Amino acid sequence: MTIIVTGAAGFIGSNLVKGLNDRGITDIIAVDNLKNPAKFKNLIDCEIADYFDKNEFIEMIESGSFKGGATAILHQGACSDTMESDGRYMMENNYRYSMTLLDHCQRQGISFIYASSASVYGSGEVFQESREFEGPLNVYGYSKFLFDQIVRKRMAKKSAQIAGFRYFNVYGPRETHKGRMASVSFHFFNQFREKGSVKLFEGCAGYGNGEQRRDFVSVEDVVKVNLHFLDHPEISGIYNVGTGASEPFNNVAVATINACLKQEGKAPLTLAEMKENGMIEYIPFPEGLKKQYQSFTEADIGSLRRAGYAAPFYSVEEGVSRYVGHLLRNC
């Protein structure tokens, strides 16, 4: 079967390509925009059948000239920079692009599995896949939110699977190219390796230093969820993809540092010991970020479980330790 992966050279997209390869699937059409050429490295160890530039691919889809014969599109292509200020670009790249592919899949009767985002929930503290809990804080979140609304309206008359995943804070291999938008575990790892300490934000919105909480989910688990739905084209809907448990940024820092210490043959330390030894520092919270910052996220994964996905998720301690091991082997 031919599978199209958009954003294939990006973080989650390239992990999906590798996950498909691990199943023996190599008939993959990779779609991406290599304006950032560093992303090509994510596909070096992957096997694909063909590659298309994103704009070329869209033109082919819109003109009806694409003859790929695909059985599914795993749509991960989007601008994920939550600080992007060009709203027109964000809506064209995230919303309109997704609409074009959704229409194509429905015409062809093929599965459409796409990336949404937990950013649709904004500053709320209830994370259920329901309209009353949604209120994005930036145009990135709005681009994802608006597309989800269209999907909801089309569900009743769909001709093939439509599955959207609201990713929470994803971390793991193949995100180096993201720079400042890479996960905190990636930045903590590099800070500790370079300076022997990591920097976290001071407290805000009622949270103590480093105690803002997020649902941190390993990209390994994200791939497993996508492949589960690929295996079950009879299941459609919009689902949260997180661990279902929030953890403070302090825990990510502790897990990252202890994974590095383990590699050096040293004993693990507690948060208090790390603070005492100057391994963890707190910096002022940026004023410009306060109004669009989610201080707490925690995926309600009840719908995902009811849809039949029963596998456990890695905790921060487990997942970050695995990720640091990967970074150490490849640095």
Catalytic residues: 140, 178
Question: Is residue 174 a contact partner of residue 137, using CB atoms and an 8 Å limit?
Answer: no
Rounded to an integer, what distance in angstroms lies between the CA atom of residue 327 and that of residue 316? 16
Which helix (H) or strand (E) segment holds residue 159: the answer is: none
Contacts within 8 Å (CB) and 24+ apart, 21-25: 21/46, 21/47, 23/227, 25/1
Rounded to an integer, what distance in angstroms lies between the CA atom of residue 162 and that of residue 106? 9
Task: Report which of 119, 162, 123, 125 is spatially closest to residue 144, judged by C-alpha positions.
Answer: 119
CA torsion, ordered 225, 178, 314, 76, to nearest 10 deg: 0
Read off the amino acid at residue 309.
Y
Ranges assigned E (strand) in the chain: 3-6, 28-32, 50-53, 72-75, 111-117, 162-167, 169-171, 198-201, 213-214, 216-218, 237-241, 247-248, 280-283
CA torsion, ordered 100, 160, 69, 18, to nearest 10 deg: 90
Instruction: Please give the full DSSP string across 19-50, using - where no structure is assigned.
Output: HHHHTT---EEEEE-TTSGGGGGGGTT---SE
Rounded to an integer, what distance in angstroms lies between the CA atom of residue 125 and that of residue 133? 8
Question: Is residue 237 a contact partner of residue 229, using CB atoms and an 8 Å limit?
Answer: no
Structure letter (DSSP) for residue 310: -
